[in-house]
Structure 1
Amino acid sequence: MSPCPRCCAMNVKDSELVWFSLTVLLILLQGNSGQITVTQTPSVVVSALNQNVTLDCQFSHTPDQKVTGVILYWYHRWPGREDQYIYPHVPTKYQNRIMVLDSNRTNKDKSIVLLGVGWEDRYKYHCMLSYDRGDDANRMRGAGVLLLLHDSMTFDLAPWTPSSLLCSVEVSPHPELRLSMLEDGVEGPSVQNDTHALHSTLSLLIPLYNDRKYECRLNWSSEIILSQTYFIPSALPEPIFLYSAILLIPFIILLIILTGVLVKCRLR
């Protein structure tokens, strides 16, 4: 029995539709690969104080796009404040603290390293590239990378109450930076602080019990930035020799009494 003509027609149309979709997708992908882009990933960097931090910037283009005269700029911004350029004209605050990873103008990596970061460096940093393409001058900016900072974590007995544990850490305030406490692997209380201060302290206080493992974590979203553990084992039993001595005391006393009686009897 021959196939249904209508079914064959439907199969042919479906096949044509698939090929058409694949062709459109290929054209779109080729168009995207030929675009000139400035990308900055990741969008957030969380660093300890006094560390060197890499701020990413990638300038993507192909040789046939004839990009020339590339000039790299870096600036930072904060809501309610004017943008401040920090490269190539370096202000006093950043003197000897900015290192360009590759000064070759033809290189696509336009990242910089910020040396010895401190609380005052909490900004969103953008790279911007000025370039020529043929007779046209162009300028393109990255979406920016936010730099957040933290100090070392303190996790120990609370000074005012040794029956409690205190965990604290100083951070750049942001709603995604969160301090949490785990007891035997089960997450308990947490705290976060979204203020406009330059830095603030996150802290947690919980009661302490023997033979339980506690862990304090500083989290950025679902990522663990810092972690410390605290564990107190159960009270150890008294030495077996002490128990034996206590149990032998009545027998020793009885032996002394019996010895005394026997001595008296012999003397008579």
Structure 2
Amino acid sequence: MLKIFLSEVTEWGWIQWMFFLFMVSGTCSQGTVHQPPVLTAALGHDAIMPCQLILSDNVKMVIPPVLYWAVLPQESDDDKLWPPSENYKERVDLLDKDLYSPNKSVLFRNVQWADSGRYQCKVSITTKDGRFRRLGNTSLLVVHDTMTFNLSGHNDSLLRCEVNVTHNPGFVLTIFHDGYKLETGDSSASGDSNSSLHFVTLSEAVLLSSDGTYECQLHLNEDLVTTSIFDYHLPVAEEPKDAGKNVSATVQPDKPVEYKEPWHLYIALLLVPTIVLLVLLTALLIRRD
């Protein structure tokens, strides 16, 4: 293969090959669009759909980039989140109004079960050298309802945690007592699914063995989505109202959108021209030998 490559390089000429390869590497490294693979949203709340445009230092835009957010699979013009089609009017807005900003995230208002699905960020960029489009890798939006974590109505010694979530095998319920994980069933398989309603009900229950703080956590893969706390106090015979001290509270983690720096993309942008140069230098040294 190397001999064939050297033969072709010799026939065409080193200058032409170097120009061609650097043009290819430059095209590949002009820019990328970064969006997270999975997003979670509480039913009826707003969600931020992150999208970041990353351009090479040598790329200078001559006009503001054109942003599209597609709902996949995109079967018609009604499947556009941005610019919003009829289905999404007055529910979507730009997070950053500066058209030249690399932040191409949008605010998605009043998320519903039917909004679960895949979304793709697309950006058309115009430079003095031409126009090109970059696509994100799509984000999966999953929705969850408010978690309930309280005593069972049929059994005062049974503590039940329940929540409705989008169909996704990565959702798991876990119950802790004073920080220690309790053994329960497989919450991801114990729910009663209803495909027409776009959600599945996850449920877990534990017997109350002692007083203390019980916590139910909903995870999507490794990420904590929401949690609920139940403070339990054993009823005292002399003070029957003592059981009324039991308190349940759901806490929605306040997770502002944090863009993890896509260092692998930065490194890739730097490595492409470097690798091309090393290949050319190696081939040149072999040819001289």
Length-normalised TM-score, structure 1: 0.67
Distance 1:129 1:166, change over 3 A: same
2:114 is equivalent to residue 144 of structure 1:
no
Letter in 2 for 1:204: E
Which residue of 2 is the match for residue 187 of structure 1? 182
Letter in 2 for 1:155: F
Which residue of 2 is the match for residue 23 of structure 1? none
Which residue of 2 is the match for residue 217 of structure 1? 217
Which residue of 2 is the match for residue 6 of structure 1? none
What residue ranges of structure 2 are gaps of 5+ in the alignment?
1-24, 240-289
2:229 is equivalent to residue 229 of structure 1:
yes
Which residue of 1 is the match for residue 284 of structure 2? none
Deviation at 1:174, TM superposition (A): 0.9
Which residue of 2 is the match for residue 82 of structure 1? 75
8 Å contact 1:173–1:196 — kept in the other structure?
Answer: no
Q: Take 2:124 and 2:218, find their aligned partners in 1: how far apart are those partners?
A: 39
| Pairwise CA RMSD | 2.9
Q: Take 2:147 and 2:229, find their aligned partners in 1: how far apart are those partners?
A: 11
2:130 is equivalent to residue 131 of structure 1:
no
8 Å contact 2:173–2:202 — kept in the other structure?
Answer: yes
8 Å contact 2:42–2:146 — kept in the other structure?
Answer: yes
8 Å contact 2:53–2:104 — kept in the other structure?
Answer: yes
Percent identity, please: 28
8 Å contact 2:194–2:200 — kept in the other structure?
Answer: no
Distance 1:62 1:158, change over 3 A: same
How many residues end up aligned between the 2 structures? Answer: 206
8 Å contact 2:96–2:103 — kept in the other structure?
Answer: yes
2:168 is equivalent to residue 174 of structure 1:
yes
Q: Take 2:59 and 2:229, find their aligned partners in 1: how far apart are those partners?
A: 55
Of residues 36, 40, 48, the one that matches 1:46 is 40
What residue ranges of structure 1 are gaps of 5+ in the alignment?
1-29, 240-268
Name the stretch that deviates more: 150-159 or 57-66.
Answer: 57-66
Q: Take 1:219 and 1:98, find their aligned partners in 2: how far apart are those partners?
A: 27
The SS at the match of 2:114 is helix
Q: Take 2:151 and 2:166, find their aligned partners in 1: how far apart are those partners?
A: 25
Of residues 83, 94, 101, the one that matches 1:100 is 94
Length-normalised TM-score, structure 2: 0.63
Letter in 2 for 1:85: K
Q: Which has the larger radius of gyration?
A: 1
Deviation at 1:165, TM superposition (A): 1.5
Give CA-to-partner distance per residue, 1:38-58, whole Å, 9 cap, x none: 111x32121211221111111
